[in-house]
Amino acid sequence: MQGYSLNKRILVTGGAGFLGSHLCERLLAEGSEVLCVDNFFTGTRRNIEHLIGNPRFELLRHDVTFPLYVEVDEIYNLACPASPVHYQFDPVQTTKTSVMGAINMLGLAKRTKAKIFQASTSEVYGDPSVHPQPESYWGNVNPIGPRACYDEGKRCAETLFFDYHRQHDLRIKVIRIFNTYGPRMHPGDGRVVSNFIVQALKGEDITIYGDGNQTRSFCYVDDLVEGMIRMMASPDDVTGPVNLGNAGEFRISELAEAVLRLTGSNSKLIRLPLPQDDPKQRKPDTTIAERHLDWAPEVGLEEGLKRTIAYFQSVDLGAR
Ligand code: NAD
Ligand code: UDP
Ligand code: UDP
């Protein structure tokens, strides 16, 4: 395993977002220099304001669909809206961000010989017919549906990563992230964990889409960031794709009940229509992460929800 030397220069795209801000924090704590690039589409300055002032931290407002010329040793490419509400708001920009963003960051990696990491997603498996999902499963994605801008954008980004690896010998690291939650999720971003917690804390109805029997596996952010760091530090022949996620699988109705219990809220559960192409089930096969990264998540759903609830209790939810 390669260790982290002092003053490694690391670019984090999407660094002002939910996952990116935790990653920047962790990289700074390890002694690296961090260049955080973000266009603030879904990320906010608030997520990283505690890092501003650290002499090893630099913030650049920039859209990754445009070229970027900087000198770095490693690149974590996270720029892309992640919640269905946000990525469907401007779907053309979502595809551009994934595809043109990947081309620009891969071009940058090629020129600087930087190692480059891609935050891909379990959405590449679409509405999966294989359960749980191993990396070898090619997926079941509707290429023309409302989720396609995200799913196909991320699939094309993976293609680009592997072609730059084969054609230009780039050192690549591709992970597929399964639903991850925690402090600094945007309260209005529409994802299920943030929606349910915010609704419970505000005494609003809890919105269950469909019958609530669809499943997801929820990973706490600290576990995910640990997996990201291990992936970047792994030997060059570990290119991925590697699934990172918590294998605990819950029905959405179970999540709603857990949130009600842990917040002590009296909110009512209501049913709303299931969005088109909403995957019915999702659970990672994490055998490869265990074997190659010696990684396994440590924070269970109950503990992770408690920490996330504490965060949402500390922010102004009126602003969402
Ligand atoms: P997020 O929306 O909080 O973060 C995305 C960040 O990218 C934001 O700060 C946003 O402003 C920035 N961004 C968007 N378009 C950009 C552009 N064109 N140029 C520069 N910056 C841009 O979401 P997140 O949950 O932190 O997700 C981070 C990454 O992880 C994304 O690539 C997402 O696809 C991936 N991912 C997340 C999850 C999850 O459950 N959280 C699951 C699978 C994959
Ligand atoms: N690029 C960039 N920063 C760099 C080098 C390249 O943003 O430091 C962009 C550049 O805009 C280019 C893309 O990355 O379009 C792909 O670069 P590559 O060298 O692979 O392709 P080419 O320049 O030959 O089209
Ligand atoms: N969901 C829900 N109520 C909400 C938000 C989401 O029932 O208020 C459901 C959604 O239909 C999906 C699951 O929760 O089945 C996870 O949704 P999310 O948007 O968090 O992520 P996805 O995994 O679908 O990208």
| 117-155 confidence digits (pLDDT tens) | 999 999 999 999 999 999 999 999 999 999 999 999 999
Instruction: Note the residue count of the chain.
Output: 320
| pLDDT at residue 320 is higher than 60 | no
pLDDT per residue as tens digits for the range 45-60: 999 999 999 999 999 9
**Phi/psi of residue 161, each to 5°?**
-60, -45
Q: With pLDDT > 90 as the criterion, what percentage of the chain qualifies?
A: 96
pTM listed for this prediction: 0.97
pLDDT in tens, 264-313: 999 999 999 999 999 999 999 999 999 999 999 999 999 999 999 999 99
Q: Is the CB of 69 under 6 A from ligand 2?
A: yes
DSSP the chain: ---PPTT-EEEEETTTSHHHHHHHHHHHHTT-EEEEEE--SS--GGGTTTTTT-TTEEEEE--TTS------SEEEE--S--SHHHHTTSHHHHHHHHHHHHHHHHHHHHHHT-EEEEEEEGGGGBS-SSSSBPTT---B--TTSTTHHHHHHHHHHHHHHHHHHHHH---EEEEEE--EE-TT--TTS--HHHHHHHHHHHTPPEEEETTS--EEE-EEHHHHHHHHHHHHHS-TT----EEES---EEEHHHHHHHHHHHHT--PPEEEEPPPTT--S---B--HHHHHHH-------HHHHHHHHHHHHHHS-GGG-
Q: What type of residue sits at position 7? A: N
Q: Quick check: is 150 catalytic? A: yes
The pLDDT tens digits of the residues spanning 158-173 come to 999 999 999 999 999 9
User: What is the pLDDT of the chain when averaged over all its residues?
Assistant: 96
Confidence of residue 316 (pLDDT cuts 50, 70, 90): confident
**Cβ of 121 below 6 Å from ligand 1:** yes
CA nearest ligand 1 atom 35, residue:
119
Q: State the distance from the centre of ligand 3 to the C-alpha of 272, rounded, in angstroms.
A: 11
Pocket lining: 286 vs ligand 2, CB cutoff 6 Å: no
Identify which of 87, 150, 185, 192 to mutate to test ligand 3's pocket (most ligand atoms within 8 A of the CB): 192
pLDDT at 183 over 60: yes
- pLDDT score for 317: 87
**Confidence grade of residue 6 (pLDDT, cut at 50, 70, 90):** low
Asked if the model's pLDDT at residue 1 lies above 70, the reply is no
Q: What would the pLDDT profile of 65-74 be if each residue is shown by its tens digit?
A: 999 999 999 9
Query: What pLDDT shows up at residue 205?
Result: 98
Report the pLDDT averaged over residues 79-99.
97
Of 87, 125, 150, 220, catalytic: 150
